[in-house]
């Protein structure tokens, strides 16, 4: 009976050096530095990037984003998705190979494995060897280091959602709250299992992005590919021999490209969904080509058209349309960001009384104004009301709100009956920062009067 899932064969990728692996180390270094350092940076005395979920506020470089601004965040996520489609159509799995967190942390964990358990051959031997003190020591050192990195990753991640300096003090004094303990434990375990144990299984069976790629690829997409026309027929030969004289192609069938592959595939079998675009096989094959004194690039970044000796077209309709969409979205987000007024005025009418007839003969309506200073500085505002003639109101001349303060302001508006043309009139409430008139918002409400 065939099994539902294929049994996992443990992969021991061989370490390889080369141009693309050095590029990967550089991008991994940059992304990790960015990830670990960012929550420690301050802006105006506050954590520069903080997603304060309990208070539903995001602090990003001096700007406070309130729930009302979250539409911008969804635009940003949509733009990022289009950006990923664009890069994939143009250059294949660059994201997977160089910047995806799964790849980045797996690479770190593999490096720890190399430091503690040795080369590919030594690791395979260790796997097969019986339990000994040496094996126990190597294994436990590896797992302790893995857990250390996993905890640091989880700690940093939680530090994006709760002030990281306060979190550090809490960890050091062992006074964490239940949720902090839960999330720290959750992300530590998730990182440890994903990067230490699951590795390529996440790319193969969990990540949906890998499955979408077929839709985004075309014959002009840059992929990592083996040049069959040049490499076949493959076969071993003596160093320095001329392959053509032996009826061979350039592939010496050394299998180094397979040994270095973190997903255990053979690039010579063609484009496969398992390929995460790490370019290890390019560096491996180039090192062999160097030894054999053959030109590099038997395995290389290329396109299907190029391999078929057809011209590669970089600018194509799908790519152009995608690029235009990204530019339009980025312009819309920038416009929304630069014209954003960090001030909000919500108005609720008194629902208990439609209106009151005052002893002086005027008609009175009551409102509850909710003023929100959405900025990180205190501001003084003036509120004005328009829409009806000869109105009087109980609003103070100016109001001052501290940074991020929400003020409830009950007020009443009185209008002479002669000014009321209809029982239901529109009133405009305008609030303006007295020091910056660009910071101004107007909200509509209703003034109800008696039917004449």
- Binding residues among 207-236 for ligand SF4 as defined by CB under 6 A: 224, 226, 231, 234
Query: Which of the ranges 205-213, 276-284, 324-332, 423-431 carries the binding residues for ligand SF4, by CB under 6 A?
Result: 276-284
Question: What b/e string do you get for 422-443 counting C-beta neighbours within 10 Å, with b at 16 or more?
Answer: eeebebebebbbeeeeebbbee
**Burial (Cβ within 10 Å: 0-12, 13-18, ≥19) of residue 44:** exposed
CB of 113 vs ligand SF4, minimal distance in Å: 17
**By C-beta, is 14 or 382 nearer to ligand SF4?**
14
CA dist., res. 373 & res. 270, Å (int): 59
CB of 122 vs ligand SF4, minimal distance in Å: 21
Q: Which two tokens mark 349? A: 């009418």
Give me Rg for the CA atoms of the chain: 32
**Residues in binding contact with ligand SF4, number by CB under 6 A:** 30
Cα distances (Å, whole numbers) of residue 379 to 109, 228, 386, 412: 50, 69, 23, 23
CB of 281 vs ligand SF4, minimal distance in Å: 3
Contact call for residue 255 and ligand SF4 (CB under 6 A): yes
CB of 346 vs ligand SF4, minimal distance in Å: 54
With CB under 6 A as the contact rule, the residue among 248, 284, 343, 401 that binds ligand SF4 is 284
Cα distances (Å, whole numbers) of residue 386 to 66, 79, 393, 405, 426: 28, 40, 11, 25, 9
Q: Which two tokens mark 69? A: 């601004």
Q: Which two tokens mark 317? A: 């309709």
CA 222: distance to chain centroid? 24
With CB under 6 A as the contact rule, the residue among 288, 343, 385, 399 that binds ligand SF4 is 288
**Phi, psi (5° rounding) for residue 410?**
-75, 130
Q: Which two tokens mark 432? A: 């303006």
Select from 146, 148, 158 the least CA-distant residue to 193: 146
Query: Which of the ranges 148-156, 206-214, 273-281, 395-403 carries the binding residues for ligand SF4, by CB under 6 A?
Result: 273-281
CA dist., res. 59 & res. 280, Å (int): 39
**By C-beta, is 263 or 322 nearer to ligand SF4?**
263
Contact call for residue 276 and ligand SF4 (CB under 6 A): yes
Contact call for residue 298 and ligand SF4 (CB under 6 A): yes
Select from 147, 121, 97, 125 the least CA-distant residue to 15: 121
Query: Which of the ranges 144-152, 209-217, 251-259, 365-373 carries the binding residues for ligand SF4, by CB under 6 A?
Result: 251-259
Contact call for residue 278 and ligand SF4 (CB under 6 A): yes
Contact call for residue 251 and ligand SF4 (CB under 6 A): yes
Query: Which of the ranges 254-262, 333-341, 368-376, 382-390 carries the binding residues for ligand SF4, by CB under 6 A?
Result: 254-262
CA dist., res. 26 & res. 19, Å (int): 11
Cβ–Cβ contacts within 10 Å for residue 362, how many? 18
With CB under 6 A as the contact rule, the residue among 92, 159, 196, 277 that binds ligand SF4 is 277
CB of 297 vs ligand SF4, minimal distance in Å: 10
How many helices (H) and strands (E) would you count in the chain? Answer: 15, 16
Q: Give CB contacts under 8 A, 24+ apart, made by 133-141.
A: 141/116
**By C-beta, is 261 or 319 nearer to ligand SF4?**
261
With CB under 6 A as the contact rule, the residue among 191, 263, 365, 445 that binds ligand SF4 is 263
CB of 81 vs ligand SF4, minimal distance in Å: 23
**Phi, psi (5° rounding) for residue 383?**
-110, 130
With CB under 6 A as the contact rule, the residue among 216, 279, 391, 395 that binds ligand SF4 is 279
**By C-beta, is 204 or 371 nearer to ligand SF4?**
204
Contact call for residue 20 and ligand SF4 (CB under 6 A): no
- The answer for residues whose C-beta is within 8 angstroms of residue 80's C-beta and 6 or more apart is none
Query: Which of the ranges 67-75, 265-273, 400-408, 436-444 carries the binding residues for ligand SF4, by CB under 6 A?
Result: 265-273
Site string for ligand SF4, 151-190 (x = CB under 6 A): ----------------------------------------
Q: Which two tokens mark 155? A: 């700690």
Contact call for residue 267 and ligand SF4 (CB under 6 A): yes
Query: Which of the ranges 138-146, 212-220, 261-269, 331-339 carries the binding residues for ligand SF4, by CB under 6 A?
Result: 261-269
CA dist., res. 236 & res. 253, Å (int): 6
Contact call for residue 104 and ligand SF4 (CB under 6 A): no
Contact call for residue 254 and ligand SF4 (CB under 6 A): yes
Give the residues lining the site for ligand SF4 (CB under 6 A).
Answer: 224, 226, 231, 234, 251-257, 260-263, 265, 267-268, 275-281, 284-285, 288, 298-299
């Amino acid at each position: 009976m065939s099994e539902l899932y294929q049994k996992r064969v443990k992969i021991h990728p061989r370490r390889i050096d080369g141009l693309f692996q050095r590029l990967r180390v550089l991008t991994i270094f940059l992304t990790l530095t960015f990830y670990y350092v960012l929550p420690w940076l301050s802006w105006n005395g506050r954590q520069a990037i903080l997603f304060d979920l309990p208070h539903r506020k995001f602090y990003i470089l001096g700007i406070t984003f309130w729930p009302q601004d979250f539409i911008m965040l969804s635009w940003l996520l949509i733009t990022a998705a289009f950006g990923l489609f664009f890069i994939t159509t143009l250059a294949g799995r660059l994201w997977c190979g160089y910047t995806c967190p799964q790849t980045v942390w797996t690479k770190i964990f593999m490096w720890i494995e190399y430091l503690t358990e040795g080369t590919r051959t030594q690791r395979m031997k260790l796997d097969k060897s019986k339990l000994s003190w040496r094996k126990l020591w190597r294994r436990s050192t590896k797992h302790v280091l893995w857990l250390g990195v996993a905890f640091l990753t989880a700690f940093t991640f939680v530090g994006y959602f709760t002030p990281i300096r306060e979190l550090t003090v809490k960890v050091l004094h062992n006074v964490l709250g239940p949720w902090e303990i839960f999330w720290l434990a959750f992300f530590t375990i998730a990182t440890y299992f994903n990067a230490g144990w699951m590795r390529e299984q996440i790319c193969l069976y969990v990540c949906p992005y890998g499955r979408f790629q077929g839709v985004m690829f075309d014959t002009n997409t840059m992929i990592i590919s083996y040049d069959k026309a040049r490499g076949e027929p493959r076969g071993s030969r003596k160093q320095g021999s001329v392959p053509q004289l032996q009826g061979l192609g350039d592939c010496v069938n050394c299998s180094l490209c397979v040994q270095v592959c973190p997903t255990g595939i053979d690039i010579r079998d063609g484009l496969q969904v398992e390929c995460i675009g790490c370019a290890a096989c390019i560096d491996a094959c180039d090192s062999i080509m160097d030894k054999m004194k053959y030109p590099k690039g038997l395995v290389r970044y290329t396109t299907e058209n190029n391999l078929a000796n057809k011209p590669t077209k970089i600018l194509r309709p799908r790519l152009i349309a995608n690029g235009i969409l990204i530019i339009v979205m980025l312009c819309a987000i920038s416009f929304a960001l630069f014209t954003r007024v960090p001030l909000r005025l919500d108005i609720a009418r008194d629902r208990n009384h439609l209106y009151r007839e005052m002893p002086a003969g005027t008609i009175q309506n009551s409102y509850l104004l909710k003023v929100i200073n959405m900025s990180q500085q205190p501001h003084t505002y003036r509120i004005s009301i328009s829409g009806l003639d000869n109105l009087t109101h109980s609003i103070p001349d100016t109001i001052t709100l501290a940074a991020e303060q929400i003020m409830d302001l009950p007020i009443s508006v009185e209008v002479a009956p002669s000014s009321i043309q209809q029982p239901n009139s529109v009133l405009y409430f305008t609030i303006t920062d007295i020091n910056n008139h660009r910071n101004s918002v107007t909200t509509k409400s209703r003034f109800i009067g008696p039917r004449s």
